[in-house]
Chain A
Amino acid sequence: MGFVVSLQASPIILTGDTTRLSTHQQAIAFLDSLQHLDSSKHWPHVDPELFLQNLKTFATSPLRFYEGKGTNLCAYSALTYIPLNHDPLGFSRFMVALYQTGKARMGKVLIKPSAAIKTEAGLLKYKGDLDISPAGQIWFLSLADHFKGYLNFFNRRYHKDDENTLWASTNYAKFNRMLRKLFPVKVHARGADLVRPWLDDISAYLNKRSKVGPVFLYLNNRLLYKKNHVVTRFGIPTHFVLLLDIREVHGGSYNIVYWDYGKKTLQQVDPKLLRKIIFGITDYSLKNQ
Chain B
Amino acid sequence: MRHYIYHIIPITLLCLSLSCTHSKQFTHTYYRENEVTLHSIKQRFKQLYDKNPFSLELKDKDLGHIGLEIHTDTVKYIYSFRLDEPYLLDTLYKYGFDVRAMNDLIDDMQKAHCTWITNLDYYEKRKKKYLVFISVRDKKLTGFMKPEKYFTLAFFDQPQPYDAKQRLLDYEDLSKNRLINGAVFRKVNDTVSYALTGKYR
**Which A residues form the contact surface with B (CB < 8 A)?**
1-3, 5-7, 9-10, 63, 69-70, 125-126, 128-129, 131-132, 164, 227-230, 257, 263-268
Residues of B within 8 A of A69 (CB): 181
Contact of B78 among A6, A132, A164, A266 (CB under 8 A): A266
User: Roughly how many angstroms separate A266 CA and B170 CA in the complex, as a whole number?
Assistant: 35
B91 — nearest CB in chain A belongs to which residue? A5
Closest 7 CB pairs of A and B: A227-B199, A267-B78, A131-B123, A2-B87, A5-B90, A265-B76, A9-B75
B94, B123, B126, B179: residue with the most chain A Cβ atoms closer than 10 Å: B123
B178 contacts A by Cβ under 8 Å: yes
Q: Are A128 and B81 in contact (CB under 8 A)?
A: no
Q: Are A5 and B94 in contact (CB under 8 A)?
A: yes
**Which B residues form the contact surface with A (CB < 8 A)?**
61, 71, 74-82, 85, 87, 90-91, 94, 115, 121-123, 126, 137, 147-148, 150, 170, 178-182, 198-201
Residues of B within 8 A of A227 (CB): 199-201
Residues of B within 8 A of A265 (CB): 75-78
Q: What's the nearest-Cβ distance from chain B to residue A99, in Å?
A: 19
Can you name 18 extra interface pairs (CB under 8 A) apart from A227-B199, A229-B61, A230-B147? A2-B80, A3-B81, A3-B87, A5-B87, A9-B77, A63-B74, A69-B181, A125-B123, A126-B180, A129-B121, A131-B123, A227-B200, A228-B198, A228-B199, A229-B115, A257-B75, A265-B77, A267-B78
Residues of B within 8 A of A70 (CB): 181-182
Contact of B80 among A1, A9, A257 (CB under 8 A): A1
Q: What's the nearest-Cβ distance from chain B to residue A6, in Å?
A: 8
Q: Are A263 and B122 in contact (CB under 8 A)?
A: no
5 A-B pairs within 8 Å (CB atoms) are namely A3-B80, A70-B181, A126-B122, A126-B180, A228-B148
User: Roughly how many angstroms separate A164 CA and B137 CA in the complex, as a whole number?
Assistant: 25
B81 — nearest CB in chain A belongs to which residue? A2
How many residue pairs between the two chains, A and B, have CB atoms under 8 Å in the bound complex? 75
User: Roughly how many angstroms separate A5 CA and B170 CA in the complex, as a whole number?
Assistant: 42
Q: Are B75 and A164 in contact (CB under 8 A)?
A: no
Q: What's the nearest-Cβ distance from chain B to residue A92, in Å?
A: 22
Q: Are B121 and A263 in contact (CB under 8 A)?
A: no
Q: Are A10 and B75 in contact (CB under 8 A)?
A: yes
A6 — nearest CB in chain B belongs to which residue? B94
B74, B94, B115, B181: residue with the most chain A Cβ atoms closer than 10 Å: B74
User: Roughly how many angstroms separate A264 CA and B75 CA in the complex, as a whole number?
Assistant: 5
Residues of A within 8 A of B148 (CB): 228-230
User: Roughly how many angstroms separate A245 CA and B187 CA in the complex, as a whole number?
Assistant: 45
Q: What's the nearest-Cβ distance from chain A to residue B75, in Å?
A: 5
Q: What's the nearest-Cβ distance from chain A to residue B150, in Å?
A: 8
Q: What's the nearest-Cβ distance from chain A to residue B84, in Å?
A: 11
Contact of B182 among A164, A229, A267 (CB under 8 A): A164
User: Roughly how many angstroms separate A128 CA and B121 CA in the complex, as a whole number?
Assistant: 6
Q: Are B74 and A263 in contact (CB under 8 A)?
A: yes
Q: Are A126 and B178 in contact (CB under 8 A)?
A: yes
User: Roughly how many angstroms separate A268 CA and B79 CA in the complex, as a whole number?
Assistant: 7
User: Roughly how many angstroms separate A10 CA and B71 CA in the complex, as a whole number?
Assistant: 14
Residues of A within 8 A of B85 (CB): 2
User: Roughly how many angstroms separate A209 CA and B80 CA in the complex, as a whole number?
Assistant: 28
A69, A131, A164, A227: residue with the most chain B Cβ atoms closer than 10 Å: A227
